[in-house]
Amino acid sequence: MAGRHIAPDTPELRARWGGWTFTDANREKADWHIKKYPEGRQKSAVMPLLDLAQRQVGEETDTQGWLPLPVIEYVADYLDMPVIRVLEVATFYMMYNLVPVGKFHVQVCGTTPCMLRGSDAIIEACKARGMRFGEVSADGLWTLTEVECMGNCATAPMVQINDGNYEDLTPERLNAVLDALATGEQPKEGTQEPGRHTSEPAGGPTTLKEMVDANHDYRSAW
Amino acid sequence: MPKVTVDGQEVVVPDGATVLQACELAGKEIPRFCYHERLSIAGNCRMCLVEVKPGPPKPQASCALPATEGQEIRTDTPMVKTAREGVMEFLLINHPLDCPICDQGGECDLQDQAMAYGRGGTRYHENKRAVTSKNMGPLIKTIMTRCIHCTRCVRFSEEIAGVDEIGALYRGEDMQITTYLEQAAKHELSANVIDLCPVGALTSGPYAYESRPWELKKTLGIDVSDAVGANIRIDSRGREVLRVLPRINDDVNEEWISDKARYQVDGLTRRRLDRVFIRRSGKLAEASWDEAFKAIAKAHKSSGPGASIAAIAGDMVDCETMFAAKALLKASGSSLMESRQTGMDYDVSNLAAVNFNSTFAGIEEAQAILIIGSHVRWEAPLVNVRLRKAVKRGAKVFVVGPEWDTTYKAEFLGTDLSVLNKLPASVTDAFKAAEKSAVILGAAGFAAGAHEAALGVAGKLKAEFNALHTAAARMGALMLGFAQKGGIADIVAAKPKVVLALGADEVDWSAFGDSLKVYSGHHGDKGAHAADIVLPASAYTEKAGTYVSTEGRVQMADKAIFAPGDAREDWTILRALADALGVNVGFDSFGELRAAMVAEVPALGDEGMIADYGALPAAPKGVKAAGEIAAYPIKDFYLTNPIARASTVMQQCSAELLHGDALKEAAE
């Protein structure tokens, strides 16, 4: 959170991103989002449009994407709303990147459950690979961010890399995921614990054990 | 009409009232920061906590809770006090303890409420938050570390001003109030956020570190920078006006004033006429009052009686000054009086036809509004606020004239006045559907000679007719008869020996080549440049006076300070001149003058009331509108009168806010 800031408004930024527009495919998607809302309430579509814009910027720069000011202004113009209102939204949500990021945006959850399960070691592992908070690594691949709870506490610790979650991490498992990503492979998303499918209790069920194989009436036990 | 109990006292509140309003009706004071009567409800400061039954067993934010039948509200329990103290402690966690160097000190909501709910010391040992201050233009000084995020300024700019320029970026502890890319707030009402700010985050730039509120003498005044007659409080120390603040008057200015009304006052100490001057061989030279009066008397006597003396009233003079001049002229046997300096000659035989008949509060209820030749945002920013409210209630607005940024949805019908002869169906339909509708004729409309045509259109559309003047003195002048049938041209044709210019700066003086031009005013502006004799007089803060706003409301202002140097109150100059001319005007004191004025025009004695001008004249038949409104008379909002032109703050505003982009381009 802290240190989040808008990329400065420089002539270079204007030169690079001035005149940016949606691609035809994205314009179609944007209009589809706008049509979800009643006439005159097109402003409601600001969040999906900002996301579309960020993804398009990502494709153009081969990164996760971010929101340069001219792009934010374009979205404001597209929705006919004051640019400060769009900027409020873009700065409010962590999912919108306000500065350039790498190809893989490694968002480590550092909230209490993940921290108790070893997120500090995960962060150390990331740093050991040369990542620094809020910076793009020299090879342009990595950006490290610490984020608040991502809702995967049952499979803590976890990281979110672009659109995928990687859970039940240890430094070794994380390194395996990152190595795979770096070589262009797509590692398995979700839990990295062998034998675990999703977020079911590790080591088998701890409650409602009778229910595993067949339906069981617990009412007599109440 | 729900009935609720507040601390055991039963009150009946209007439908839709909140618990906070119910408490206020019961006479209970509820502390608050984010809640403001004229803004939408945010409910984010949590200071207004009360206990409400039925409801959850915890304190409730009263500003956002609707009052319902049978509620039991308690504002005096230990739980309420503890809860508010808790909120206050949280607010003060990140608020700097810099009251001794803060300009809000002494009039700070946070300071006041901390007296009631604050702890003696802090329990917070972490680092305090610090926020960089933001640029918001030449008028608003920001110290954003003090901000408590009430978002009043954000809501004001969005809801009242209609220009979304201030916003809250980031979230939680990192939240920051700023304009987009720290651009200056470019709005005529922008400085009202300074009054709205409950802490010292947004303070007055020009008034920074000038004074403490308790050092100031507070005088009730009337603003003269436009014809709205905004109620102001003039804060002065010694012989200087330090600032101007709005007073609440729901019928006139609600609680806003324009930036010009607020910040032109530094012009009161610059370019002042504080001595008598007489033009000798082309140059103005210092002289004594006696010499000046003798010179005027000599010029006056050189002709026979009758049309030997004329008076032209400026845009900011009070009724008393004009009446004194009228009495002087009458005693000298002349009736050459005019106030429409730029030569307009519309018919004033029925003052209802040149008045804002809907009233400012009433225009909010209009459902269809046709504006003819008025840049309302610059001519009367506070009326534009009312129009914006009307549009929010569903009114349709049409404008004849060059396009300007209205801050609300409006349809521009082009600049050609002949559109009035055959209005498009969209306009006539809107007016037909409207229960209450209005036609507003502005300065450019008057200048283009569209007065009769506008009256005709108003009659045809069955709409109320409204004249929006730009001069604070205009309605008072017209009530006192400061108008010739042919306007200024009649006075030029009469070739008077002496022309008294009462603060008249917009007149084309070259037409008065043979007359002795006596300028009695307060600023060395266009009028003084052309004058043969300059008599130093008082500005609006330096004399008591009566002003009539464009809606015909008679309002009186008090004297805040003394005029500088040799300058005198205007009426005393005219009284002394009467002696020099050897005539009797019939009053020797201000009280006698005012009594004589009210005796002649009784409506001028009804302070705060709207003068009754009777019914509108029958709409003239068969008047065809013709011509074009090429431009609006106000070219620069910040420099419309001599005081504003002398003010460095207004000059800076003009340069930065209106011509800033041009300057930047020139620099590049």
**Residue-level pLDDT at B466:** 95
Query: Residue B668: pLDDT above 60?
Result: no
Q: What is the pLDDT of residue B112?
A: 94
Q: B181 and chain A: CB distance < 8 Å anywhere?
A: yes
Show the tokens assigned to B402.
């060059």
Interface of A with B (CB under 8 A): 1-2, 4, 6, 9, 69, 81-85, 87-88, 91-92
Strand partners, B437: B368
Q: Quick one: average pLDDT of B61-74?
A: 94
Radius of gyration of chain A (CA): 21
- Asked if B273 contacts B536 with a C-beta cutoff of 8 angstroms, the reply is yes
Q: How far apart are CA B234 and CA B245, in angstroms?
A: 7
Q: How far apart are CA B621 and CA B443, in angstroms?
A: 23
Whether residue B663 is predicted with pLDDT greater than 70 in this model: the reply is no
Alpha-carbon span B562 to A142, nearest angstrom: 71
**Residue B172 at interface with chain A, using a CB cutoff of 8 Å:** yes
What's the rounded Cα separation, in Å, for the pair B39 and B509?
A: 47
Q: How confident is the model at residue B337 (pLDDT cuts 50, 70, 90)?
A: very high
State the pLDDT at residue B519.
Answer: 96
Distance CA B382, CA B398 (A): 18
Contacts of B304 (CB under 8 A, 6+ apart): none
* Predicted confidence (pLDDT) per residue in B398-457, tens digit: 999 999 999 999 999 999 999 999 999 999 999 999 999 999 999 999 999 999 999 999
- Could you report the per-residue pLDDT of B475-489, keeping only the tens digit for each? 999 999 999 999 999
What local confidence, expressed as pLDDT, does residue B662 receive?
63
Residue B617's Cβ-count burial label (10 Å; 0-12, 13-18, 19+) is middle
Q: How confident is the model at residue B666 (pLDDT cuts 50, 70, 90)?
A: low
Whether B209 contacts chain A with CB within 8 A:
no
* Tokens coding B647: 């003010």
pLDDT at residue A168 is higher than 70: yes
A130: left (phi over 0), alpha (psi -120 to 50) or beta: left
How many residues can be counted in chain A?
222
- How far apart CA A178 and CA A126 sit, in angstroms, is 9
The residue of chain A nearest to residue B129, with distances taken between CA atoms, is A2
Cβ of A88 within 8 Å of Cβ of B172? The answer is: no
Q: Which of B167, B170, B173 sits opposite A85 (nearest CB)?
A: B167
- Best B128, B153, B154, B170 member to test A by mutation, with max A CBs in 10 Å, is B170
- What pLDDT sits at residue B566? 94
Is 60 exceeded by the pLDDT of residue B90?
Answer: yes
pLDDT at B305: 55
DSSP symbols for B214-260: GGPEEEEEE--SSTT--EEEEEEETTEEEEEEE--BTTTTBT---HH
Q: Is the pLDDT of residue B307 over 70?
A: no
For residue B22, give the nearest of B49, B37, B2 by alpha carbon. Answer: B2
Q: For residue B241, what are the β-bridge partners?
A: B236
Contacts of B167 in chain A (CB under 8 A): 84-85, 87-88
Half-sphere exposure of B599 (CA within 13 A, CB side): 9
What integer pLDDT is reported at residue A62 of this predicted model?
Answer: 94
What does the radius of gyration of chain B's CA atoms come to, in whole angstroms?
A: 27
Does B173 touch chain A if contact means CB atoms closer than 8 Å? yes
- Looking at residue B73, its pLDDT comes to 95
Cβ–Cβ of A1/B164 closer than 8 Å? no
pLDDT band, very low/low/confident/very high, at B619 (cuts 50, 70, 90): confident
Residue of chain A whose Cα is closest to the Cα of B180: A84
The H helix count followed by the E strand count for chain B is: 22, 26
Q: What is the pLDDT of residue B306?
A: 54
Q: Do A1 and B168 touch (CB under 8 A)?
A: no
**pLDDT, position B588:** 95
Which residues of chain B lie closer than 8 angstroms to A73, CB-CB? Answer: none
Q: Determine whether the interchain pair B167/A88 forms a contact, defined as Cβ–Cβ distance below 8 Å.
A: yes
Range in A130-144, A164-178, B651-665 the model is least confident about: B651-665
Peptide bond preceding A157 in cis form (omega within 30 of 0) = yes
Token pair recorded at residue B186:
């470019």
Q: How many residues does chain B have?
A: 668
Query: CA of B216 to nearest chain A CA: how many angstroms apart?
Result: 38
> Which tens digits make up the pLDDT trace of B131-150?
999 999 999 999 999 999 99
Rounded Cα distance, B439 and B659, in Å: 32
Contact B169 A85 (CB under 8 A): no
How far off is chain B from A4, nearest CA to CA, in Å? 8
Q: Do B180 and A9 touch (CB under 8 A)?
A: no
Helix axes B289-301, B570-581, angle to 10 degrees: 50
DSSP-assigned beta bridge partners for residue B74: B51
Under 8 Å CB pairs connecting chains A and B tally to 35
- Closest CB to B180 among A2, A81, A87: A87
Interface test with A, best of B180, B392, B409 (most A CBs within 10 A): B180
Contact check, Cβ <8 Å, B166/A84: yes
Dihedral of CA atoms B557, B563, B566, B571 in degrees, nearest 10, equals 0
Q: Residue B300: what pLDDT?
A: 87
Banded pLDDT at B301 (limits 50, 70, 90):
confident
Q: What is the mean pLDDT of residues B42-60?
A: 93
Determine the pLDDT at residue A211.
Answer: 86
User: Is the per-residue pLDDT at B497 higher than 70?
Assistant: yes
CA distance A106 to chain B (A): 21
B576 contacts chain A (CB < 8 A): no
CA–CA dist A198, A203 (Å, integer): 12
Report cis status (omega within 30 of 0) of the bond before A68: no
B230-284 pLDDT, tens digit per residue, is: 999 999 999 999 999 999 999 999 999 999 999 999 999 999 999 999 999 989 9
The two structure tokens encoding residue B543: 């004399």
Q: What is the largest CA-CA distance in chain A?
A: 74
Q: Give me the pLDDT at residue B29, please.
A: 93
Which two tokens mark B234? 């003039």
Q: How many CB atoms lie within 10 A of CB B559?
A: 18
Q: What angle do CA A158, A162, A163 make, to 5 degrees?
A: 85
pLDDT score recorded for residue B43? 92
- What does the pLDDT read at residue B624? 84
Is the CB of B214 inside 8 Å of chain A's CB atoms?
no
Contact status, residue B369 vs residue B438, Cβ threshold 8 Å: yes
Q: What is the pLDDT of residue B304?
A: 61
User: Does B169 lie at the interface with A, CB-CB under 8 angstroms?
Assistant: yes
Which pLDDT score is estimated for B661? 67
Contact B559, B219 (CB under 8 A): yes
Min Cα distance B222 → chain A (Å) is 35
pLDDT over threshold 60, residue B347: yes
In A, which residues are within 8 Å of B179 by CB distance? 84
Per DSSP, the residues of A93-153 read -TTS-SS---SEEEEEE-SHHHHHTTHHHHHHHHHHTT--BT-B-TTS-EEEEEES--S-G
Q: What is chain B's mean pLDDT, rounded? A: 93
